[in-house]
Structure 1
C-alpha cells in the first residue's frame, strides 16, 4: 500500500545462517544480482542508449542525494550514486502473515536484523509459495512488492545501495522521500523492532521530503506531488480507522469469551465498511492513480493492515521529537539514538511518549508478540 515497503535487509539476510539453505541462497544471489546490474550514474549519463527521461531522473536523484547530506545530515557514502535496471516491477517481494484474530505480524528472526515481521524474496513465485505455507498454518497472508530496500550501510564497501528502475520514475517528491527513507535506516536500526525502525524512517522521509519540496522543487513538481500525496493521506486515514475498528473487535468481550462466530461477523462488517468507504473515496479521485489502491483493498486482511501499521504508528511521535529538538537533524538523530538504546520496545515507546506527549496511533501495541484465540498460530 505504501509507495515503498519494508526494508528487505539483504545484508542481514546474507548473514542469516539460521535460515534454511534455500532461503539463504536466494537472499545472497538475489542481492548480488542487483549489485552486478548496477553501474555508476556518470556511466549512465554518458551512455548514448540511455533515454533522456532516465538521464533527467538520474541527475535529479544525484541532486536529492547531495541534499540528503547537506540539509538532512544523512550519510555521505556510495549509496544511491549508482543505478540498476532490474527489468521487473519490484526489487523484492515481502511476505507478511498474521493470525485470524490479530493484527500482530508473525516474526522471522535473523542475525543482525533481529526478528522482523516480514520475509523477503527476490522471486515472486517463491514469495507466493511462502505465503501459501503460512496460510496452511491458519494464518492470513499478504505478498507485496518492495521497490527499494536498505542494507543498513553494510554493503557500502561494495558500492552501496543503488538507485533502481523500480522507483526511479516516481514523482520528484516521492523519489526524494524514498532516498531519504532508506538512508535514514543507515543512521539507525534497532534489531527486532520493526515499528520503531519504519516509523522513524518514515518520519525522516516525510519531514525531509517537505523540506525538499519547499526549497528545491518547481511549482509543477509541488503540484504533482500534492495530488499524489492527497490521495495517499486520505487512504491512510481510512486504513487507520479500520485498523482501530479491528483492534476493538479482536479485544472485544466476544473475543475474550471465544465467541468466534460473533467476532467473524463483526470482522466482516468492518471489512465491508472499509471497502464501501474506499469506493466512495475512489469515486472522488481523478488522474492516473485513481485505482492505485484497488488491488490492496481487494486483498486486504489482517496481515496487510498489520504491515501498514508498522510504517505509521509512531510517526507522529517522531515528528514531534524533531520539533522538540529545534528541527535540528543532528540533535534529532542523537535523541532517537538515546531512545533506541533502551532495552525493549515497550520502554522505547514509553520514552517517545514521555518526550513528546504523543501516544502510538495503534492501540493494539500491548498485544505485540501475543495472539488471540481462534485462528491464531
Structure 2
C-alpha cells in the first residue's frame, strides 16, 4: 500500500518582534528583504520550485476542507460517501481510544479533489547495487521517494533518472501525511478505497502523526504498515464485523508473505553484488537479472498461489528490478520483527506499539553513547 508524503510547511518567526529592540520601520525593511530573498530562492532553485508547488497544493487541499461530522448528518450527502466518512470517524476514535495514537485534528475534515490521483510518487535505485536514490528535504531529512502534484514533472523526473541509468518506478498515491504539521484532511481519492483499506490507511497515517523517526523511512513506513494491518484486524473485531475482519486478516497475511519474498530476493541480489564487487557494471547487472528471473519463478509458482487478496495474474505482471524491490521493501521491511513484538505483548496491539517505540528510542540512545 503506497501512501505518501508532502514536505512543505510555512516558516514563521516572531523573534525580533519579541526582542522589542528594533524600530518598526527597520523591522519592516528586514522582513521585506527576507521575503524577497525567500521568494527568489523558491523561484530560482529546483527544490524551491518543488516546495512551492507542494505548499500551493497543500493550501488548496486545506482550503476545501469540510467538517466530516457535518457531512455525515447532512441530508444531501451521498449515502455511500456518508458511510465511508462515518467509518473514518469511527476508525479515528478507535486509534485514539484503543491504540493511544495522537490524532490532533487529522481526519476530522474532508477535502474533495478535482482529479482521480492525489500525487504520483517517483522512486529510483541504482541498477548495479542495492542502493536507493534519495532526495533531501528541509527539516525532515532524506527520503527515497519524491511525490509530485505536477504529473508532467513526475514523468520528466522519471525520464531523466532512467537516462542517468537508474531503475525507476512511478506509482499513484491516494493519501499522504504531513507528519502532524497540518491537520491532515481525508481526501476524495482515499475515500474510494474499500472499507478495510480505508481503516488501514487512517491507522497508518495516524501512526506517522504519533511517531516518526527522522531519516529512517523504511522503519517508519514498515512500522505504520504493521499498525495499519494489525490495527484494522482489532478494529473490525471490536466492531463485530466478521466478514471485514477476515478480509483484514487476509490483507495482513499477504503483506507478511510478500514482505518475506522481497526480503529473500533482496538478500540474494545483495549477495550477487557482493560476490562481484570488482566486476564491470554490465556484468553485475546481468548477474542480478539472473536472480530476478529465478525470483519470478518463485513468485509465480510458490508465492502467488498463497496470496489471498491480489488479482489473478499480478505475480506475472509486477516488474522486478531494484527500484521495485526497494520501494516495496520500504513498506514491508521485517514485518515479522513487529509481529514478534506483537506476539510477546500477548496480541495487545496498543502495548506492542508502545514497546516498538520504546525499543527504537533505546537503540538510538545506545548508538549515541
**Same fold per superposition (TM over 0.5):** yes
Q: Secondary structure at the match of 2:331?
A: helix
Whether the 8 Å contact between 1:13 and 1:27 is mirrored in structure 2 is no
After TM superposition, the structure 1 stretch with the greater mean CA deviation from structure 2, 125-134 or 201-210, is: 201-210
Note the C-alpha offset of 1:113: 0.9
Q: Matched residues in 2 for 1:236 and 1:136: separation?
A: 30
Query: Could you give the per-residue CA deviations for residues 33-56 of structure 1, whole angstroms, max 9, x where no partner exists?
Result: 222232111332244443211111
Task: Give the alignment's Cα RMSD to 1 decimal.
Answer: 3.3
Note the C-alpha offset of 1:174: 2.3
1:174 aligned onto 2:172: no
Q: Matched residues in 1 for 2:185 and 2:355: separation?
A: 27
Partner of 2:357 in structure 1? 336
1:317 aligned onto 2:344: no
Query: Unmatched 5+ residue regions in structure 1?
Result: 352-377
Q: Matched residues in 2 for 1:13 and 1:278: separation?
A: 45
Summarize the alignment of residues 86-235 of structure 1 with structure 2, pairs less than 5 Å apart.
86-155=113-182, 160-235=183-258
Higher relative contact order (CA 8 A, sep 6+): 1
Report the CA distance shift for 1:330/1:273 in structure 2 as closer, same or farther (over 3 A).
closer
Whether the 8 Å contact between 1:177 and 1:206 is mirrored in structure 2 is yes
User: Residue 2 of structure 2: which of 1, 4, 7 is its match?
Assistant: 4
Partner of 2:311 in structure 1? 289
Partner of 2:98 in structure 1? 71
Query: Unmatched 5+ residue regions in structure 2?
Result: 13-40
After TM superposition, the structure 1 stretch with the greater mean CA deviation from structure 2, 235-244 or 196-205, is: 235-244
Partner of 1:264 in structure 2? 285
Partner of 2:271 in structure 1? 248
Q: Matched residues in 2 for 1:218 and 1:190: separation?
A: 34
Note the C-alpha offset of 1:115: 1.1
After TM superposition, the structure 1 stretch with the greater mean CA deviation from structure 2, 174-183 or 201-210, is: 201-210
When the two structures are aligned, how many residues end up with a matched partner? 337
Q: TM-score, normalised by structure 1?
A: 0.77
Q: Secondary structure at the match of 2:165?
A: coil
Q: TM-score, normalised by structure 2?
A: 0.79
Whether the 8 Å contact between 1:65 and 1:80 is mirrored in structure 2 is yes
Report the CA distance shift for 1:151/1:180 in structure 2 as closer, same or farther (over 3 A).
same
- Bigger Cα Rg: 2
Report the CA distance shift for 1:339/1:233 in structure 2 as closer, same or farther (over 3 A).
closer
Whether the 8 Å contact between 1:92 and 1:120 is mirrored in structure 2 is yes
